Structure 1
Amino acid sequence: MVQQARKAVVAVTGGMGSGKSSVAAYLCEIGGAMGLSADALCRQLLEPGAAGWLAMRTAFGERFFLADQRIDRPLLRTVLFEDREFRQRLDALLHPLVRDEIAGCLERESGHTSGKQTRFVVEVPLLYEAGWEHDFSQVVVAYADEKTCLRRLMLRDRISEAAAVKAMETQMPLADKTLLADYVIDNSGPWPDTCLQVEHLRNLLW
């Protein structure tokens, strides 16, 4: 995807409840970087008439569409967490589209600057699951211990512990991701502690 893999393009990944969005946002803020979110791009692709929306309609018919033709996101989320085969089919449809969108955004934004290298922070929750780790020159994992992630996920999505556990089990264990990363930010504790780590990371990256 990122043919010109360069130090200025950093991927941030993690697990549910690990705080990867917060880490990515703060790294952008203090590093003067442009942020991209794979999840945000995926949501755009699922808007009525967009490429992901069309792909889902072709593959699954009317099952996940509301009367106004928008995606029934609660239903989609439920099926994603309960049906591994469906999750794999949907990933096979959407991941290439999201990957192309990220590449296109990086290319367009890089072209807007003359002679100055643009810094990018790309948040990709399923980076390792999708096999995109080689698209970026540096990968940062936002880590938090399992109990902390579970608590945060329950509070954020207002779901039961059982539902949170089931959701987390759909992703690669966070501990495994830390072993593959170039850098790890431990976001288990107070946010000011995390900020100090991100500030040190900025100096290492740029």
Structure 2
Amino acid sequence: MAFVTESRETILIGITGGIGSGKSTVGRFWSSHYNLPLFDLDAMCRLLLEPGEPGWAALRDLLDGAFFTASGELDRPRLRSAIFLDEALRSRVNELIHPLALQLMQRAVAGLSAPLVLADVPLLYEAGWQDGFQRIVVIFANRKTCCRRIVFRDGVSGEEALRALRSQMSLAEKALRADHVVDNSGCWLRTRLQAVHLAGLYQRFISGSLY
């Protein structure tokens, strides 16, 4: 599986991490600071789950109407909580949504001619998409930091935050598999310095003076 062919001069960078690690923050920084195209898989999945869309229809059939409101909309917060508790349900949902999201990503990337393209893919390794990227960057943060961010951002308890973290592959394992790691456990200035340094490496990569 690949998003771009070897004949194309496009370098596709997969940005991944865990809940609360800050991968989207780093991705948006790179996109805005260096004017790079950025695909947000979470945003694509949200589109797929709008009423009438393929993901919505697939989940409605799978769940037999459960987790849907009276108006037909998917109750995402309730489904998300259930997924963190039920590994079998999580697997069934991912098996339906991941192929649809992959199709969206492939079509979107195929229409670009940019030399460097970013993709924010939270479950990149869990979905088995690692071979579709020329380089993979893991945004790492220690568990305590991730947990604190989840509690603050989502308004959930510490126990719920830990449950969400345990539902994904550990960041330590993802970091071992990555081409590069950005440690976002501390302040933004420290993270930004790492991100700028890494962007410089990729610019040299594109110019042919690296790798």
- 1 CA distance for matches of 2:82 and 2:16? 23
> What is residue 133 of structure 1 aligned with on the other side?
130
Percent of paired sites with the same residue: 41
Q: List per-residue Cα deviations over 1:154-206 (Å, max 9, x = no partner).
A: 11111111111111000000011000000100111110111111111111112
User: Of the candidates 4, 16, 22, which is equivalent to residue 19 of structure 1?
Assistant: 22
> What is residue 143 of structure 1 aligned with on the other side?
140
State whether structure 2 residue 79 is matched by structure 1 residue 76: yes
3-state SS in 2 of match to 1:128: coil
Q: After the TM superposition, which residues 109-128 of structure 1 pair with which residues of structure 2 at under 5 Å, given as runs?
A: 110=112, 113=113, 117-128=114-125
3-state SS in 1 of match to 2:126: helix
Report the AA paired with residue 176 of structure 1.
Answer: E
3-state SS in 1 of match to 2:84: helix
Structure 1 moving runs of 4+ over 4 Å: none
User: Of the candidates 164, 169, 172, which is equivalent to residue 166 of structure 2?
Assistant: 169
> What is residue 206 of structure 2 aligned with on the other side?
none
3-state SS in 1 of match to 2:125: helix
User: Of the candidates 33, 45, 58, which is equivalent to residue 48 of structure 2?
Assistant: 45
- 2 CA distance for matches of 1:18 and 1:78? 19
- 2 CA distance for matches of 1:140 and 1:7? 16
- 1 CA distance for matches of 2:142 and 2:68? 36
Gaps of 5+ in 1: none
Gaps of 5+ in 2: 204-211
> What is residue 196 of structure 1 aligned with on the other side?
193
Change (3 A) 1:197 1:35: same
> What is residue 179 of structure 2 aligned with on the other side?
182
Query: How many aligned positions are there?
Result: 200
TM-score (norm 2): 0.91
TM-score (norm 1): 0.93
Report the AA paired with residue 18 of structure 2.
Answer: G
State whether structure 2 residue 51 is matched by structure 1 residue 54: no
CA contact (8 A) 1:14 1:174 kept: yes
- 1 CA distance for matches of 2:4 and 2:193? 32
Aligned Cα RMSD in Å? 1.2
Report the AA paired with residue 121 of structure 1.
Answer: L
Report the AA paired with residue 28 of structure 1.
Answer: S
Q: List per-residue Cα deviations over 1:31-73 (Å, max 9, x = no partner).
A: 2211111110000000000010011112111112111111011
